[in-house]
Amino acid sequence: MKLISYNVNGLRSALAKGLLPWLEEEHPDIFCLQELKAQPEQIPDEEFQRLGYYTYWHCAEKKGYSGVGLLTIREPDRVIKGIGNPEYDREGRFMRADFGQISVISVYHPSGTTGEVRQEFKMQWLEFFLQYVNRLRDERPYLIISGDFNICHKPIDIHDPIRNAHSSGFLPEEREWMDRFVASGFIDTFRVFNNQPHQYSWWSFRARAREKNLGWRIDYHFVTENLKPKLRNAYLLPQINHSDHCPVVLEIDF
């Protein structure tokens, strides 16, 4: 099965740039979306359903902000919207779909780039999220967590680790959190298959960053360690350009 995660930076904008024809051609079994920036009535469900998808959305209360989605060819056994905390759930950051023993999560971690208040919010969210998913594993031990983490884990994941050492998304405390997240039993699937530098999933719109490949790898498919034997491939699609992010792909025996 093929899973794709994609921060579309505004679903309506991505649709205007050709998202649907690309999705029809790529046709993943599961498509996790982040940063919808749309309300349910602004989403053309019928267009996705025409391609054979069941569609699920968890939109932010604030218009034009955040939101996650999950499209799947196979109907899930259950879909859970939200993480059980009203402060976080009003921002539409988490959705889970259960397929037999395996659960797929589409997640959009907060950004801290707008200042100290949101950076503190981000760090609080990260701790809550880590505790939540580790409790969830008691009930659902086979997890695939796909989405925009807004963190580069290691220097190889960012184009300029020295000058960005104090930038939100590469702060020591964020990277330490990623260390603890991985150590708790999760695998960065991309690095199972590709240990090359200059592999990124997000580029600033400024200074021709994408053209120069001055990027950050902040979008991931993490899986619990018990799924490692099922992994078949993981890669990026930097040539796909509906957003300032690119799609990230995971192929796995489901």
Could you tell me which of 207, 247, 208, 252 has the C-alpha nearest to residue 25? 247
Active-site residue (options: 77, 98, 138, 148): 148
Report the alpha-carbon distance of residue 186 to residue 168 in Å, rounded: 23
Burial class (CB in 10 A: 0-12, 13-18, 19+), 125: buried
Respond yes or no: is residue 148 known to be catalytic: yes
Residue 146's nearest CA partner among 210, 58, 90, 218 is 218
Q: Integer distance in angstroms from the first to the last C-alpha of the chain?
A: 6
Residue 176 exposed, middle or buried by CB count within 10 Å (0-12, 13-18, 19+): exposed
List residues with catalytic annotation.
148
